[in-house]
Chains A and B, each alone.
Chain A
Amino acid sequence: MARVDFVAGTAPPLRIWPTWNKLYWQTGPVAVFLLSLFVIPVVMLLGLSFLDDRSLPSLEHYQRLIEVPLYGKVLLTTIKVAFYTTLLCVVGAYPVAYLLSISRGSTRNWLIILVLMPFWTSFLVRAFAWIVLLGRKGAVNQILLAMGIVDAPLQLIYNFAGVMIGMTHALMPLAILTLLAVMEGIDPNLPKAAATMGAKGGTRFWRIYFPLTMPGVASAALLVFITSLGFFITPALLGGPHDTMIVQLIIFQIREVLNWQFAGAIGVLLVITFMAIFLVYDRIFGLSVIGGSAQQARVPAKRSSIRGWAVLAGNAITSVLANLTDAAIYALTILKQGEKNRGRRTRIGLYAACTFVLAFLALPTLFVLPVSFTSEAFLTWPPKLFSLQWYQLVLDSPVWLGAAARSFMVALVAATIAMLFAVPCAFALARDNFAAKPALFGLVVAPMIVPNIFIAVGLFFLFSRIGIAGTTFAVVLGHTVIVIPYIVITVLAVIKGYDRNLDYAAATMGASGMQTFHRVTFPLIRSGIIASFMFAFIISFDELTIALFVTGGRITTLPKLMYEDALLSVSPRLAAVASLLLVFMSIIIVVSELIRRKGGYRHGQN
């Protein structure tokens, strides 16, 4: 497992497992939960890959993986897609997250609603929205042709660019929220202090602000990378013949030819690949970044040489960037002679970048809203208005309303349970040292690394044996498993940025542990906690694979219903569902923000 930068010398003999009561409670429940509902079922399923048809030990499936070139090629494609998606997501998310972190009040609410927009339109609707927007006869090509900019339709999708558009769009909100959670914890006085010491704008950003956001960048990149490894429907719909993802091959083996042994072998390959990438990633960024050892600055011991080089390289790069940016700003000032407007001009750059990214995020939704009022049976542009038939179909159907209610409830309960498990564990991982820490960290992020289809099939077996397959409770348990890693990683990133001296200060002023947490710690990490809860809720609300398997068809969730509806026809009914969700969720965000602010005022007056 990955290395951890321990605080050497503070606790001489490291305990294997924390023996203090508090740590037991922090780490015990999540470990037990994941061992029984994740490790055992998945290991049993993946273990099949070491058996042949007669259930005798054999490596024949691994031999096939190596001998047939297809699997290596598809694995490389998958990694390539995940890498570029990660790059685009983090670069695009950074300015938006920054803008969000400096915005207040209603501006912030609107921005949050814009950022979250893609989540409420099911991924299928989004993919079809892009097809109708960017296809050969799509809206964009229609406009370009009509304006005479191009002579023949441009090939915008059904290639790698199409995959990037679809996947970046789907995962950017994840990156934005993760970055935001960290940026909100940064003391705005630090860049100001640098300014009083004579640092110019570029230096302030690259040498002070950017390094402080590194935990956020690292977690956002990790989350996006892992999540995109598991994508397959979006690339299949928007990509070309080369853009096959590895999960697609796994699903083919599981569902179409029932070769679970070989599916397991591909799964093991994917997990091993990911572990290798993760190890390198850890050597560069250090688990202290993701895993949040709070006293990073005081850690001289046990650094890998790779890490050391990475830090040196990182420092060198940021210095160069700082000088370049300062020079560029200086050059601009000389050219324009507008010393007074300098601040405003950098803001204009920020606004332009954010407008572009936000427009990209909102575009498919802005398309879906009018299309939901079409009188035709398809998603087309321009839509033939005006009809409420699709809304009527949804609102009159007890099946759809029931599924929506169930999804909402499942997401709420699963996110709550997962928070109760994961948040204390994140605190333990961030603040305490024990020998099992790397193992525990590996355990809690593992459900994210193992493709959902294995968790789904493994859980189906387990739930069938104990007789709860096909119940809502089973879906809740399954979703709890898969959202735990997202919560742990987000909360860790936030705690990492939290200055523990504030707690000590509170303690020296006579505050009890509870009081310190309630009045000092929690208010400061609140937005991170809320963000992680939202992740958990959204991921559960949008989850399909687990729902497909553990419900057994007896009950249905909203994504499952939408998926099954969309298999045969992507009708404007899905657009109507998406629009209803969008309105509903936006109202919830606004209301919860209003309540929060009321609470905030009261605290402020105290």
Chain B
Amino acid sequence: MQSKTQKRMAAIDRRGFMAASGTALLAAPFIRTASAKSRTLTIRDPGGPVGEAYRKAFFEPFSKRAGIDVVGVQSSHGPTGEIKAMVEAGNYAWDGALLDMSDVAVLTDRRYLETVSGPGGLGPNASQIPADLRNDFLIGAMGYATVLAYRTDTMGRQPPKNLADFWNTAAIPGVRSLRKHPNGTLEPALLADGVEKAHLYPLDLDRAFRSLDRIKNDIAVWWTGGAQTSQMLKTGEVDCLLTWNARAQVAIDDGAPVNIVWKDGMFSFAGFAILKGGPNVELMREFVEFASAGERQAEFVKHSTSGPCNPKAFDFIEPKLAKILPTNPSYFAEMFVMDARWWGSNNAIAQERYENWLVG
């Protein structure tokens, strides 16, 4: 039996090898040559309804100015797995990627990104961006806030004014929904419990879960995707929830009687990051500086409801639009910026505990 098995293994090995080389032969026509892409910058964006905006605000203007091709490719939310795989395999389908700050925190800990500024330091545009909206690996371009949104038709008489009201289900009735994810849920839980914004991080997990315990049974829906929250606000499936400002805005734009509470909102930004060791790092750095200009960010905002990170952008934005943007100075003063570093090193633990708490 032993020898038979070995014979079989040997046969399979030979077959496996032949298959591998056969596959490589078949694949040959698909391998792109390195020279063909050297003057093309390939940048990942999240696509979706505002996908066009990246092209119009950043890719096309830069392409014109630098005289190269800029290709936007779409991939889903949080493409950290793809980037890890690309850098480890040394196959750069992307030169850079539009990433959330939390994605960046995960990737820099594992060294998959290049610093955004070269030896020359920050460019003039990037320097205009507030220090808490940039770091070595990411210059904030646009951002969103996690806010409280409610239906004015059912909760208008006694609207929730802050997170403590959202937690106070006895005094302020209404069907509620929370995200099935600790990010953007633990912070509100602590704020509702009386923690000061300045002292939020590092998050006190015990206290956050005690606070969540109080509201757990009053949560009708635990949502998992942003689209779900727009839908629920639009149809009135729930009366109030915590979601991203753009998701609430979509429902408002379609005529739903919904109001946004900016106070205590959690701001989190995104920007263009550079893949480690790719063939176009210097060109990507030029692109990042280009994308940090107030005018470029203002152009982007025309097509979406995320807030520009360069304050100069508001010089180019109409007041009507500025009213619904999270970085509007009058709202931004009352918000706080998510600590991506904390989440980068605690996401796994927080998530495990959160899921366990939900199942429990």
A residues lining the B interface (CB < 8 Å): 16-17, 28, 31-33, 35-37, 40, 68-70, 73-74, 77, 128, 131-132, 135-138, 158, 236-237, 240-242, 244, 249, 252-260, 376-380, 435-436, 457, 460-461, 464-471, 473-474, 548-549, 552-554, 556, 560, 563-571
Q: Which residues in A have their C-beta under 8 angstroms from that of B227?
A: 128, 566-570
How near does chain A come to B313, taking the closest CB pair, in angstroms? Answer: 22
> Could you tell me the distance in whole angstroms from the C-beta of B310 to the nearest C-beta in chain A?
24
A554 contacts across to B, CB distance below 8 A? 73, 93
- If A131-B231, A466-B24, A468-B31 touch, whether A563 touches B12 (CB-CB below 8 Å) is no
Contact of B236 with A by CB under 8 A: yes
Minimal beta-carbon separation of A32 from chain B (angstroms): 4
Chain B interface extent, by class:
35 or more
A16 touches B359 (CB 8 A): no
Among the listed B24, B81, B234, B235, which residue makes an inter-chain contact with A254, where contact means beta carbons less than 8 Å apart? B81
Q: Which residues of B contact A37 (CB under 8 A)?
A: 19, 23
Contacts of B56 in A (CB 8 A): none
With a CB–CB cut-off of 8 A, which chain A residues contact B355? 70, 74, 244, 249
Q: What is the bound-complex CA distance between A457 and B82, given in angstroms?
A: 9
Q: Indicate which residue in B222, B225, B347 contacts A257 across the interface (CB closer than 8 Å).
A: B347
Convert B1-28 into 0s and 1s, putting 1 for each residue whose CB lies closer than 8 angstroms to a CB of A. 0001101100110011011100110110
Query: Are A255 and B81 neighbours in the complex by a CB distance under 8 Å?
Result: yes
* A16: contacting residue among B7, B86, B175, B238, CB under 8 A: B7
* A240: nearest chain-B partner, CB-CB: B222
- Contact stretch, chosen from B43-51, B281-289, B318-326: B43-51
- Residue in B84, B90, B221, B237 whose beta carbon sits within 8 Å of that of A258 in the complex: B84
Query: How many Å from the CB of B207 to the closest CB on chain A?
Result: 21
Within the complex, the shortest CB–CB distance from A105 to chain B, in Å, comes to 42
B237 close to A467 (CB less than 8 A) = no
| B228 proximal to A (CB < 8 A) | yes
The answer on a CB contact under 8 Å between A241 and B235 is no
B195 interfacial by beta-carbon distance below 8 Å: no
Looking at the complex, which one of B30, B90, B94, B221 makes contact with A553 (CB distance below 8 Å)?
B94
Q: Contact mask B101-127 → A, CB, 8 Å, 1/0?
A: 000001100100000000000000000
Residue from the set A137, A254, A568 with the largest chain B CB neighbour count within 10 Å: A568
Q: A564-B74, A568-B49 are in contact. Are A469 and B106 (CB under 8 A)?
A: no
Q: Which residues of A contact B231 (CB under 8 A)?
A: 128, 131-132, 378-379, 570
- B81 adjacent to A466 (CB under 8 Å): no
Which of the residues A33, A158, A435 comes within 8 Å of B221, measured between beta carbons? A158
Give the chain A neighbours of B15 by CB distance below 8 A.
28, 31-32, 35
Distance A131 CA – B347 CA, assembled complex (angstroms): 30
Interface flags, B182-226, vs A, CB<8A=1, else 0: 000000000000000000000000000000000000011110111
Known: A33-B19, A377-B253, A565-B49. 17 other contacts (CB 8 A): A136-B220, A241-B358, A257-B348, A258-B80, A376-B255, A378-B251, A379-B231, A435-B4, A457-B81, A466-B27, A468-B27, A471-B30, A473-B30, A552-B73, A553-B94, A567-B227, A571-B49
- Distance (whole angstroms) from the CB of B46 to the closest CB of chain A: 8
Cβ–Cβ < 8 Å partners of B110 in chain A: 258
Provide the residues of chain A in CB contact with B53, threshold 8 Å: none
Is A241 a contact of B49 with CB atoms below 8 Å?
Answer: no
**What are 25 A-B residue pairs whose CB atoms fall within 8 Å in the complex?**
A16-B7, A28-B15, A32-B15, A32-B19, A40-B16, A68-B352, A70-B352, A132-B231, A136-B238, A137-B236, A138-B235, A241-B222, A256-B78, A258-B81, A259-B348, A377-B250, A380-B235, A464-B89, A467-B30, A469-B89, A473-B30, A552-B94, A553-B44, A554-B73, A556-B74
- Chain A CB within 8 A of B172 CB: no
Given A137-B235, A461-B89, A569-B250, residue A563 in contact with residue B16 (CB < 8 A): no
B residues near A137, Cβ cutoff 8 Å: 235-237
**Inter-subunit contact B91/A464 (CB<8 Å):** yes
Asked whether, in the complex, the Cβ of B81 is within 8 Å of the Cβ of A473, the reply is no
Q: Are B93 and A553 in contact (CB under 8 A)?
A: yes
- Point out the residues of chain A lying under 8 angstroms from B91, CB to CB: 464-465, 467, 469
Is B356 on the interface with A (CB-CB < 8 A)? yes
- Of the candidates A138, A380, A473, the one whose C-beta lies within 8 Å of that of B234 is A380
Task: Give chain B residues whose Cβ lies under 8 Å from the Cβ of A249.
Answer: 355
In the assembled complex, B38 has its CB within 8 A of some CB on chain A:
no
Residues on B with C-beta less than 8 A from A242 are 358-359
Which of B24, B85, B234, B352 interacts with A378 by CB under 8 Å? Answer: B234
Q: Are A257 and B106 in contact (CB under 8 A)?
A: yes
Residues of chain B contacted by A469 (CB below 8 angstroms)? 89, 91, 93
Q: Which chain A residue has the least Cβ–Cβ distance from B220?
A: A158
Closest to B358 in A: A241
Query: Chain A nearest CB: distance from B317 CB in Å?
Result: 22
Q: Known: A464-B89, A467-B31, A568-B48. Contact between A73 and B254, CB under 8 A? A: no
| Residues of chain B from 32 to 90 with CB closer than 8 A to chain A in the complex | 32, 44, 46-50, 73-82, 84-86, 88-90
Nearest neighbor of A251 in chain B, beta-carbon distance: B81
Considering the complex, give the chain B residue whose CB is closest to the CB of A544.
B76
A240-B223 Cα distance, complex, nearest whole Å: 9
Question: Cα distance A569–B51 when bound, in Å?
Answer: 13
Closest to A127 in B: B228
How many Å lie between the Cα of A132 and that of B107 in the bound state? 38
